[in-house]
Homo-oligomer: A and B are copies of this chain.
Amino acid sequence: MTRRDKPISLGEFDIIAAYFRPLTGGRGGALDLLDDAGILTPPAGTQLVVTTDALVAGRHFLAGTAPEGLAHKALGMNLSDLAAMGAEPAAYTLAFVAPKPLSEAWLGAFTAGLADMQAEHDVFLLGGDTVSTAGPMTLSVTALGWVPAGKALRRSGARAGDDLYISGTVGDAALGLLIARDGRKLAGEAGDAFLKERYEQPRPRTRLGPRLIGVASACIDVSDGLAADVGHIAETSHLAAEVRIQDLPLSDAARVALDGDPRLLSTLVTGGDDYELAFTAPPGAADAVRTAARAAGVPVTRIGVMTEGDGVRAIGPGGAPLDLGTGGFRHF
């Protein structure tokens, strides 16, 4: 007899036991989620890196988002923040604030999504809280990682003359949002499915970030949009950034979409949620950047340069500046 798809009548402790406890992977520090807190042992010579991000239904994800994808996003955006600091991910906590009723099928799919991410990024559930709400589902994840002491990557370390790099491809998630939310058709059936997945299932660059330690001079993950996030590097480093638009790495699907509607260029550059790493490195580190990228199995592309001044300038094919508008999603 199956209990699947029945609205849930489980208590808080039952939900923890049936769905969340398996996500500890039996790791000792999680204490089977039976104690007041979890325990992590710092590797020798490291500092702890901590990030907290919350996702609110209707605001950060669409109603009806598949639970697997939601799990990928909630954990992925936090692991991406660790990667941006060069930290090796270790564990996470989850404040699971959910309206009733929840079906067991939903809970099963959600925790399966978390399990996928855990396996891919070698993290486990260390603790958390499970409570009900009269409002929209709200998922707060705190991700914990370790970085060699004193070596964390920062947004602020870029120097004039440094090259600017991006991992992966630019703008897929922004196009995926247009497809998922607005029903736009941009790149054919397979292309649209690819772009939608890039929006719904971010792949944080946890293998690349730690390999950029000692190589990159500044680093950030692209969550607010390439223009906004490169702007954060520029601002905190007291520099300007020049981004060569013709050098931006695009996926095949994004290329098809852009060929069909050149106005999407602005979306590609200002849209968020790619969770790629944007980083700077001195020209002499170009080989080290390539080595790190190869070791991580992540493509990396040089897309511009840091200069004296301020702001982000997009440079068009002829060398002329392009106006792409201001970017970055603000929550209030």
Interface residues, chain A, with chain B CB atoms under 8 Å away: 8, 10-15, 29, 31, 34-42, 46-54, 56, 58-60, 81-82, 84-85, 87, 91, 93-95, 97, 100, 126-136, 138, 140, 142-145, 147, 149, 152, 154-156, 220-221, 236, 330-332
Contact B58–A331 (Cβ < 8 Å): no
Minimum CB–CB distance from A235 to chain B (whole Å) comes to 9
Complex interface: chain B residues within 8 A of A50 (CB): 37-40, 91, 93, 126-127, 142, 144
Q: Which residues of B contact A97 (CB under 8 A)?
A: 54, 56, 138, 140
Task: Select A41's contact among B31, B100, B149, B156, beta carbons within 8 Å.
Answer: B149
Interface CB pairs A-B, < 8 A, 12:
A35-B154, A35-B155, A36-B82, A37-B84, A39-B85, A39-B152, A40-B50, A53-B129, A56-B135, A97-B138, A130-B332, A140-B140
Answer whether A131 and B59 are a contact pair too, CB < 8 Å, given A37-B81, A221-B36, A332-B100.
Answer: yes
Q: Is there contact, CB below 8 Å, between A40 and B48? A: yes
Contacts of A38 in B (CB 8 A): 49-51
Q: Which residues of B contact A87 (CB under 8 A)?
A: 37
Q: Are A135 and B135 in contact (CB under 8 A)?
A: yes
In the complex, what's the smallest C-beta–C-beta distance from A87 to chain B, in angstroms?
7
In contact, B39 and A47 (Cβ under 8 angstroms): yes
Closest-CB distance, A55 to chain B (whole angstroms): 8
- Taking a contact as CB atoms under 8 Å apart, the answer to whether B95 and A54 are in contact is yes
Task: Please determine whether A95 and B95 come into contact, CB atoms closer than 8 angstroms.
Answer: yes
A54 to chain B, nearest CB (A): 4
Interface pair B135/A140, CB less than 8 Å apart: no
Query: What is the CA–CA distance of A34 and B233 in the complex, to the nearest angstrom?
Result: 10
Q: Which residues of B contact A133 (CB under 8 A)?
A: 56, 59, 135-136, 138
User: How far, in whole Å, are A84 and B37 apart by their CA atoms in the complex?
Assistant: 9
> Across the interface, do B52 and A94 meet the contact criterion of CB distance under 8 Å?
yes
Q: A11 to B138, alpha carbons, bound, how many Å?
A: 20
A43–chain B nearest beta-carbon distance, Å: 9
A75 to nearest B CB, angstroms? Answer: 14
Q: 3 shortest A-B CB distances, which residue pairs?
A: A135-B135, A37-B51, A140-B140
